[in-house]
Every structure is written in structure tokens, then in C-alpha cells.
């Protein structure tokens, strides 16, 4: 139907039979393809408002056109005989009766047509987050793995805490966080893409523990108009030498399943009186010395190991595999000491003690006698 209507409109507006009819790109862009097929080679991506000359009869969903120096096939749905109007598109973007997707697309097209208009990028950003919150409110689950993790916020509010969680150990990124009741949207811009996380959070006001469930994740190529809409006035995350590029050390779903399937915290054990195992206790922090496996929002995992008063070691898990009751861990020191490998032998049957190399740990944090050292100023 669109093909027939467009053909009639072009015929009605033509003045001379020998003059090629003009059409204009109506979508935010259109791919001009070598052949009339969705998987055909893209000759050029023509932006909204581009004037093209019709060089062939429209067939099915395609029309042969020349845009500048390129001639090929454009989708009929994305071209039309009239120039797109900024004001018409602005009105559509502001119309609350239209669907959020339609309003956001109209705002994007208007912003592309009038990059000097300061109102349009702001409107586009607002509609982007509105659409994402609507998607989150209607989330039913798709069978994909939900990723859950937690942190402690202290005196920080939820927004600041989520922002710091999203920016931890990252360089060359910008981050924007929006929350609505128990929902959150996080947009992360790296040099090439924007990655969006949608999920739910719960902050315990007494313990300040923040639990986050990432329900959906998607990404799209970074463009000037979307960068302006989402990150205008947002400063990049301050980088430290131990920070890494976005996307590095992200584990696959099989690795997530392995690490999620074991206890996340293990207490160090050492021989005590009469040869019985006891649990050394950090009297300064009021906790045992722990071995922890900690995920983050980006799909990375850290292994944190306390060996006693010597302090804590921090590793990125770069790969993990399981053979029987042994985890083979490939690790990277988070503070520049290079790669290493360790084997974590898990407890068998109903036992609770595992061994990381030659050090014993238990996931039953209250079973063993505590071995206390007096807390000294500056640490244990």
C-alpha cells in the first residue's frame, strides 16, 4: 500500500515527464543498498532530509533512487515526496497520546534535522529514559539469566551509590543513572557504544545494603546526537591506573553459572589449639578474613583474598572452568602484578572446607572457634 500511495503522489507532483521525481529521506537515516534486498550490500547511509532522485519504478518494498553520487535501492517506508518538518516532528515528540517509541523516534529525527536547536536533545533524552522505564515496568522476563549483586552505600544515596557501582574500575566512560521508585536505568558511554542496563534495586536503610537485579541489557552505536541527548554536562569517570576499558574481563554465561553456583564468601581457617582448625578474626573490622567471589553490573567477577594481617589481594577472574570439584581460575591482579592461575578445591559431599592452593577456607562463617588478635591503631 505504501508503494502504491508513494507512486501516485510522485505522479501527481511531477511537472515534466522527463524530469526525475524527488524524494526525501524521512527516517533518521536510510541504507541505500546495491540490490532490492534487506541483506544486500549498503552503498551509503543517507541521513534524514537527504534529497534523492527516483531512477526506477517502485517494486514491493523498494524504490531505486540516486542520492548524491550513489544509486541504489531504498526502503519505500523511509522516503517520501515532502521534506521532513522539524516543527511537525517536534509536535509529535511532545504529543502524550502517541506511543513512547514514536515520540522518541520523532525527537531523534527532529534533533538530526536541527542540531542547533537546544531544546530537542533534552527532549530526546527525557523520552529515551521514559521509554526505557515503560519497558522495565512491563518486563515479563524472557528466560535470560538475571544477574544480581549487592554493595553497601554508607551515607550515599541510591543514585550516587548506583553511579559509583557502575563506574568502578572503568576508564574512558561516561555514566548517567536515572531511578524511579525501585527501578533504575543506567546508560554507559564508551568510545564506541552506549550500553543500557534496566533493572530493580532495593536499599535497606538500616544496613545501607543495596541489592540490584539487572533484568535487561542492550547497546547501540554511539552517535553525536544521542551523546548530546544522554550525556550533556556529564563528566567522564575519573580514571586511575588500575582502571580498565569497558568490556574487558567480561565473562560468558557458563562462567557466571559456575561462580554463581558456589558460596560467595569463605572464611580463612588455620590450625589452632590441639591441631583443631580455628577461624582467624579481624578484630578491627569485626569480621573473619574472607575469600570472596564478587560480580559487578558489567558481567565481570573479582576474587578478593585476605590472607590475614598481610592485607587483601584483589584479582579479576579472566576465565573459570570446573572439573569435578575443582575450579581452575585464571586471574589478573587488579593492581598491575600480572596474571596468575589458582585451583580452588571445593568441599565434597556435606563437607564445608575448600582449599585455594594450600589455604583452607569454609563457607560456614560461624562454625569454627574464632582466633582473635587485638586491634591495633592502623590495622590488625
Note the pLDDT tens digit of each residue in 111-162: 999 999 999 999 999 999 999 999 999 887 765 557 888 899 999 989 999 9
Would residue 319 be called left, alpha or beta, if left means φ above 0 and alpha means ψ between -120 and 50 degrees? beta
**99-108, 131-140, 276-285, 352-361: least confidently modelled range:** 276-285
Report the pLDDT value the prediction gives residue 4, as an integer from 0 to 100.
Answer: 43
Which residue has 589455604 as its cell numbers?
A: 359
* pLDDT band at residue 12 under the 50/70/90 scheme: very low
Residue 239 DSSP SS3? coil
Euclidean distance between CA atoms 156 and 164, whole angstroms = 10
Of the candidates 174, 167, 179, the residue with the CA atom closest to the CA atom of residue 296: 167
The 10s digit of each residue's pLDDT in 196-227 is 999 999 999 999 999 999 999 999 999 999 99
pLDDT of residue 18: 60
Q: What is the pLDDT of residue 378?
A: 53
Cα 104 from Cα 128, distance rounded (Å): 6
Distance (Å, whole) CA 76 – CA 59: 9
Three cell numbers written together for 45: 547511509
Position 258 scores a pLDDT of: 96
pLDDT at 246: 94
| Cell numbers linked to 104 | 522518541
Lowest mean pLDDT among 40-49, 168-177, 274-283, 360-369: 274-283
Domains of the chain: 2-80 (2.30.30.40), 86-137 (no CATH), 147-245 (no CATH), 253-372 (no CATH)
| CA distances (Å), origin 40, targets 34, 74, 78, 164, 221 | 6, 11, 17, 44, 21
Residue 229 has pLDDT above 50, yes or no: yes
Of 82, 90, 88, 73, the residue nearest 36 (C-alpha): 73
**What count of other Cβ atoms lies within 10 Å of the Cβ of residue 309?**
13
- Cβ–Cβ under 8 Å, residues 253 and 304: no
pLDDT at site 9? 47
Does residue 252 register a pLDDT over 80? yes
Contacts of 153 (CB under 8 A, 6+ apart): 160, 161, 203, 208, 209, 210
Separation between Cα atoms, residue 312 and residue 135, nearest integer Å = 41
In this prediction, residue 377 carries a pLDDT of: 54
At 364, is the secondary structure helix, strand, or coil? coil
Q: Which residue has the higher pLDDT, 303 or 14?
A: 303
What is the pTM for the complete model shown?
0.85
Q: Comparing 283 with 29, which gets the higher pLDDT?
A: 29
Residue corresponding to grid cell 553459572: 257
Question: Residue 211 contacts by C-beta under 8 Å, 6 or more apart in sequence?
Answer: 148, 149, 150, 201, 202, 203, 204
- Give yes or no for residue 103 having a pLDDT over 90: yes
Alpha carbon 191 to its chain centroid, in Å, reads 14
For 12, other C-beta atoms within 10 Å of its C-beta total 8
What is the mean predicted confidence (pLDDT) over 259-277? 88
Cα Rg, the chain, nearest whole Å = 29
**What pLDDT score does 238 carry?**
84
Provide the pLDDT for residue 272: 73
Residue whose C-alpha is closest to residue 314's, from 333, 298, 297: 333
Asked whether the predicted pLDDT for residue 308 surpasses 50, the reply is yes
Amino acid at each position: 500500500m505504501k508503494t502504491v500511495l508513494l507512486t501516485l503522489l510522485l505522479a501527481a507532483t511531477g511537472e515534466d515527464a522527463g524530469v526525475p521525481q524527488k524524494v526525501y529521506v524521512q527516517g533518521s537515516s536510510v541504507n541505500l543498498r546495491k540490490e532490492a534486498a534487506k541483506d544486500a550490500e549498503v552503498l551509503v547511509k543517507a541521513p534524514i532530509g537527504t534529497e534523492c532522485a527516483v531512477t526506477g519504478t517502485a517494486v514491493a518494498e523498494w524504490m531505486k533512487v540516486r542520492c548524491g553520487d550513489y544509486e541504489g535501492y531504498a526502503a519505500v517506508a523511509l522516503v517520501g515526496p515532502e521534506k521532513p518538518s522539524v516543527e511537525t516532528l517536534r509536535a509529535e515528540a511532545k504529543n502524550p497520546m502517541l506511543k513512547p517509541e514514536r515520540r522518541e523516534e520523532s525527537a531523534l529525527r527532529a534533533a538530526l534535522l536541527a542540531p542547533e536547536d537546544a531544546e530537542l536533545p533534552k527532549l530526546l533524552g527525557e523520552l529515551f529514559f521514559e521509554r526505557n522505564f515503560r519497558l522495565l515496568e512491563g518486563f515479563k522476563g524472557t528466560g535470560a539469566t538475571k544477574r544480581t549483586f549487592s554493595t553497601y552505600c554508607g551515607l550515599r544515596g541510591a543514585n550516587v551509590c548506583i553511579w559509583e557501582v557502575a563506574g568502578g574500575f572503568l576508564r574512558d566512560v561516561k555514566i548517567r543513572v536515572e531511578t524511579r521508585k525501585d527501578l533504575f536505568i543506567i546508560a554507559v558511554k564508551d568510545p564506541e557504544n552506549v550500553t543500557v542496563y534496566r533493572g530493580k534495586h532495593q536499599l535497606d536503610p538500616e544496613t545501607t545494603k543495596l541489592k540490584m537485579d539487572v533484568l535487561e541489557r542492550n547497546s547501540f552505536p554511539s552517535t553525536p546526537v544521542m551523546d548530546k541527548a544522554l550525556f550533556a554536562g556529564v563528566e567522564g569517570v575519573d580514571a586511575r591506573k588500575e582502571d580498565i576499558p569497558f568490556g574487558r574481563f567480561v565473562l560468558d554465561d557458563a562462567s557466571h553459572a559456575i561462580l554463581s553456583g558456589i558460596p560467595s564468601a569463605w572464611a580463612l581457617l588455620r590450625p589452632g589449639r590441639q591441631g583443631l582448625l580455628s577461624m582467624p578474626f579481624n578484630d578491627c573490622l569485626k569480621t573473619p578474613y574472607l575469600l570472596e567471589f564478587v560480580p559487578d553490573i558489567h558481567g565481570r567477577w573479582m576474587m578478593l583474598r585476605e590472607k590475614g594481617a598481610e592485607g587483601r589481594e584483589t584479582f579479576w577472574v579472566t576465565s573459570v572452568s570446573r572439573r569435578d570439584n575443582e575450579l581452575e581460575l585464571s586471574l589478573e591482579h587488579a593492581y598491575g602484578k600480572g596474571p596468575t592461575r589458582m585451583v580452588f578445591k571445593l568441599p565434597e559431599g556435606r563437607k564445608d572446607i575448600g582449599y585455594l592452593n594450600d589455604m583452607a577456607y569454609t563457607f560456614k562463617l560461624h562454625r569454627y572457634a574464632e582466633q582473635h588478635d587485638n586491634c591495633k591503631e592502623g590495622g590488625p
